[in-house]
Amino acid sequence: MSASAAQAVAPRRGALVGRVKISWTGLTTATILIVLAVVDFILQPALLNLLQIGILMQTALPLVLVGAAQTLVVLVRGIDLSVGGIMVLANAATAVWVGERGGAHQLMIFLILGLAAAAGLLNGILVAVARFEPFVATLGTWTIFNGIALNILPTDGGTPPPSLISFTFGTTAGIPNSLIVLVVLLLAWRALRGSRLGTRIYAVGADEERARLNGTSIVGVKLFVYAAAGLLAGLAGVFLAGVTSSGTPTAGDPYILTSVAAVVIGGTSLAGGSGGIGLTMMAALALIFISDIISAINLETWVSVAASSGLLLIVVVARTLIDREIQRRRT
């Protein structure tokens, strides 16, 4: 084979390996989810009912939304510790500003979501414009947003609007609204991923300098990503208020690390440019099934945390070994 022919074959071979890696990641994530779901259904046959599945998805919805927010940021080689703060800020505001006033004030939910997006945009400005490290910038804003949430609602309580609670627990054409929200989120992600903006998000995460040379606005992409992450975290807070029928100003902290775990288990690379929200959704649902299984067999809560951590460790080790093998074959 001539040198020119070998050079032509090499990129195709690398692309093939990349596609195999992506397919393997999606397959393993789906397998983990299916296995855990089957185990849960065996332990609790009553779950084989659309309404019961809807109830389980209500519990999963806040984590799925926060995980989706974290995924967008990770795709551009960032991290957002403030998703928990934005989440509880929206949660507290929904329970106090909207619920306790009632009536037409229910439209304030859209204002709250706008404020959540603005909070995310602030993170984007700090990271993309002011050039702060994502970890440092979002650690600072997380503290600020948590403080504001505690000022709005110092302790658990408040009164989420009845319409929100009804929607969260309700159905449309016999289908639980929680399932509909998950499907809409997935469809929105598919539309974004297939768009020019989606291509630019992946390009920035894969190689920021090359993306800039190709005419991509790095600042613009990062501002969009962080604002979208803020919006999704705000949605998580709103839905959490509907699920719990209460405001909880300290509920966001556990979701921060759990959202990162969902991202990693799903297969989105912390190095950026690889993965997606669909994978994170499957991983988040897998974590919910682990918790539900532990509850079904009457084990203590810490066992669920240990099992989730064990799954994370196994996935990270396995994928590290496979990545090394892929790199070895490329060379």
What average pLDDT does the structure give for the chain? 88
Check: CB of residue 227 under 8 Å from CB of residue 72: no
- Does 35 have pLDDT greater than 60? yes
- Distance between CA atoms of residues 117 and 123, nearest Å: 10
Q: Report pLDDT digits (tens) over 197-243.
A: 999 999 999 999 999 999 999 999 999 999 999 999 999 999 999 99
Percent of the chain residues topping a pLDDT of 70 = 90
- Distance between CA atoms of residues 263 and 316, nearest Å: 11
Cα separations in angstroms, 10 against 14, 23, 130: 6, 20, 40
Best CA proximity match to 284, nearest among 175, 199, 185, 200? 185
- Does 28 have pLDDT greater than 90? no
> Which pLDDT score is estimated for 104?
58
> Which pLDDT score is estimated for 25?
77
- Does 4 have pLDDT greater than 60? no
Q: Report pLDDT digits (tens) over 81-106.
A: 999 999 999 999 999 988 766 555 77
Dihedral angle sign, alpha carbons of residues 179, 253, 264, 188 = positive
- Distance between CA atoms of residues 55 and 38, nearest Å: 17
pTM: 0.89
Q: Which residue has the tokens 């919006």?
A: 231
> Which pLDDT score is estimated for 242?
93
Check: CB of residue 225 under 8 Å from CB of residue 124: yes
**Which position has the higher pLDDT, 272 or 316?**
272
